[in-house]
Structure 1
Amino acid sequence: MTSFATAQDKILEELPWLSMELRKAARFLLDHPDEVALVSMRVLASRAEVTPTTFVRLARRLGFGDWAQLREPFENRLRSGSSPYAAKADALVLRSARETIFAESVNAAAANITAVTATNSPHDISAACVLLEKAKGVRVVGFRSCRAPAHCLVYLCRMFRNDVTLLGSDGGALEAELASLDRGEAVVAIGFQPYSRELGLVTDVARRRGVPVLAIVDSMAAPLTRDADVILRFSVDSPSFFPSVAAAVATVEALAATMLTRSGAKGAAKVRQTEAELTALGAYMPD
């Protein structure tokens, strides 16, 4: 009997070589494992925007006899109670009158944030912290809409350590910054589909230099995960025209808080020192 982990590994291994249609179906399986176990192939196909026969072809491509055999590990995973996902935001957000879009957007963001703790296990969080703690310097990268969570992580971490910097902040001289990337450092790459081209450059350089990568992404099927040592995930579901980054921001805020907690009294002292220096420099408006 094939385990869910084995089925997941097979999908990830084959993903780069699949046709566009099969890749779309494969990504859906990876990102919605609960639904694979609970709804019919026809409903899955509708949700994934592929034909039902696409799942049959995918099953055979992955070495399973038919769709039922591929679905079985997903069903067993759900029965075992080891589901890593909370209720999906898209199950809570329903299109309705335009007057409700504000509330729908807020509800979707809240559901995405709630899902973060279910999607990322304590082991994942611990592994991410260890990776960053061992590094003599941390380079954080996120482009376009992911610039906000990347900047947030850098800002928070610099309250208690001085060696966290934002890549791509020097007027577009990303290549020049990567030239100095050192083996003893670590990279945090943040992105969601469609993934910024520059992220591929960063993770490729990191891989060639032997620099560990923490990927904070929307999917286990993200291209960044192929070069990542640790993966944290967030949902971007939204009724809006654009994916939500609320969960990405919540993820980096929680990660920074966890890192500070693990740093102990030394980290707390550094925060007090940084806050005092900011106050002395007039960074804040007077009450």
Structure 2
Amino acid sequence: MKREEKIRANLRGLTQSAPPKLAQFAQWIQDNLHQVAFNSIRGLAQLADVDSNLVTRLVRELGYGGFDAFRAEVQQIVQRTGASYGSRARALRDRSEADIYAEVISASRENMNMVTAPESIAGLDACIEPLLTARRIYVVGVRSCYSIAHYLSYVGGMAFENFQEVPSVPGAILDQMCATGPEDIVIAITYEHYSAEVVRACQVAQDCGARVLAVTDSYNSPIARNAWKVIQLPMAGPQLLPSLNSAFLAVELILAAMTARSAGAADKVSSYEDRITRFGGYTEDGGVTSR
């Protein structure tokens, strides 16, 4: 039985057999399951107008050791099924700032823990040498993921010759992908809802023989299915959009590891920095150089 179906089946059982208050709350959770992913015990109790102890009792009746385990499972369901951004925004309505801050911080820490787990680091590490030896590296990301793509391409371009500039004009993504080949790597970044431009870019690059490194939220992502390698991003949190902090950390780990293994990266960065400084690209203010 699938995870969500099992949870809902257990909730239905409670609505039929539990004492009235617990049964009513189980029905409310049935109707508002996605709220579990975005709330603490107290936040969920406030939304459902019940006592916090009832939340804890329900979780135990469902067979979980604690609320965090239940919420983590629902977060995976919500992430996989792609709750709308509108529903994420509505879930934040009328919650206290202190509660939201605490949940964002907690989720961010968990995301970081998952990205830095040994198996995740091993997956990242397997990409480093091929990236260093690739003829060209293209980075593709649009909308919210454009910031990650631009950062990776910009910083990568400072240190390495093979990073290509991220396209910023209409049609340029397709133009780049048509020029790829077997010696190239395309780093594609997208999550549910998956950007059509990025999915199409991967298809074109693969048709041209390029390797695709998919940076995405799920192994079921359309860019992960035929990818050379996949970096799965934990993106939990109550934010308006799925959290991108894990994506930035993954990118920074890649760049740092590539630099550590490159004989010429440091000199190339220094040369870049000297040029920008020479022509006034950095402003001196009180003895501190701002970037």
TM-score tier after normalising by the smaller chain length: 0.5 to 0.7
Question: In structure 1, how many angstroms separate the alpha carbons of the residues matched to 2:97 and 2:106?
Answer: 14
Preserved contact between residue 88 and residue 115 of structure 1 (Cα < 8 Å)? no
Question: In structure 1, how many angstroms separate the alpha carbons of the residues matched to 2:32 and 2:141?
Answer: 27
Q: How far is the alpha carbon of 1:182 from its aligned partner?
A: 3.0
Preserved contact between residue 157 and residue 163 of structure 2 (Cα < 8 Å)? yes
Instruction: Evaluate the alpha carbon distance shift between residue 88 and residue 255 of structure 1 in structure 2; reply closer, same or farther with a 3 A threshold.
Output: farther
List aligned pairs for 1:237-276, cutoff 5 A. Answer: 237-263=236-262, 265-276=263-274
2:261 counterpart SS class = helix
Instruction: Evaluate the alpha carbon distance shift between residue 192 and residue 274 of structure 1 in structure 2; reply closer, same or farther with a 3 A threshold.
Output: same
Preserved contact between residue 134 and residue 162 of structure 2 (Cα < 8 Å)? no
Counterpart in the other structure of 1:126: 125
Preserved contact between residue 216 and residue 232 of structure 2 (Cα < 8 Å)? yes
Q: How far is the alpha carbon of 1:199 from its aligned partner?
A: 1.3
Preserved contact between residue 90 and residue 238 of structure 1 (Cα < 8 Å)? no
Question: In structure 1, how many angstroms separate the alpha carbons of the residues matched to 2:140 and 2:261?
Answer: 23
Question: In structure 2, how many angstroms separate the alpha carbons of the residues matched to 1:215 and 1:274?
Answer: 29
Counterpart in the other structure of 2:10: 42
Listed one character per residue, the Cα deviations across residues 18-67 of structure 1 (whole Å, up to 9, x for unaligned) are xxxx9xx58x79xxxxxx9xx99737x979969xxxxxxxxxxxxxxxxx
Preserved contact between residue 187 and residue 206 of structure 1 (Cα < 8 Å)? yes
Question: In structure 1, how many angstroms separate the alpha carbons of the residues matched to 2:197 and 2:151?
Answer: 19
Instruction: Evaluate the alpha carbon distance shift between residue 214 and residue 229 of structure 1 in structure 2; reply closer, same or farther with a 3 A threshold.
Output: same
- Unaligned ranges ≥5, structure 1: 1-21, 30-35, 51-86
- Unaligned ranges ≥5, structure 2: 12-28, 35-67, 76-90, 286-291
Preserved contact between residue 89 and residue 237 of structure 1 (Cα < 8 Å)? no
Q: How far is the alpha carbon of 1:124 from its aligned partner?
A: 1.1
Question: In structure 2, how many angstroms separate the alpha carbons of the residues matched to 1:145 and 1:99?
Answer: 24
Q: TM-score, normalised by structure 2?
A: 0.64
The residue type paired with residue 111 of structure 1 is E
Are 1:98 and 2:96 counterparts?
yes
Preserved contact between residue 142 and residue 191 of structure 1 (Cα < 8 Å)? yes
Structure ID, larger Rg: 2
Question: In structure 1, how many angstroms separate the alpha carbons of the residues matched to 2:253 and 2:151?
Answer: 11
Q: TM-score, normalised by structure 1?
A: 0.65
Q: How far is the alpha carbon of 1:134 from its aligned partner?
A: 2.2
Are 1:111 and 2:107 counterparts?
no
Which of 262, 277, 280 in structure 1 is aligned with 2:278?
Answer: 280
The residue type paired with residue 178 of structure 1 is M
Instruction: Evaluate the alpha carbon distance shift between residue 178 and residue 89 of structure 1 in structure 2; reply closer, same or farther with a 3 A threshold.
Output: farther
Question: In structure 2, how many angstroms separate the alpha carbons of the residues matched to 1:139 and 1:198?
Answer: 14
What percent identity do the matched residue pairs reach?
Answer: 29
List aligned pairs for 1:95-244, cutoff 5 A. Answer: 97-100=95-98, 101-118=100-117, 120-244=119-243
The residue type paired with residue 104 of structure 1 is E
Counterpart in the other structure of 2:22: none
Question: In structure 2, how many angstroms separate the alpha carbons of the residues matched to 1:251 and 1:261?
Answer: 15
Question: In structure 2, how many angstroms separate the alpha carbons of the residues matched to 1:267 and 1:235?
Answer: 30
Count of aligned pairs between the two proteins: 217
Question: In structure 1, how many angstroms separate the alpha carbons of the residues matched to 2:118 and 2:193?
Answer: 21
Q: How far is the alpha carbon of 1:139 from its aligned partner?
A: 0.3
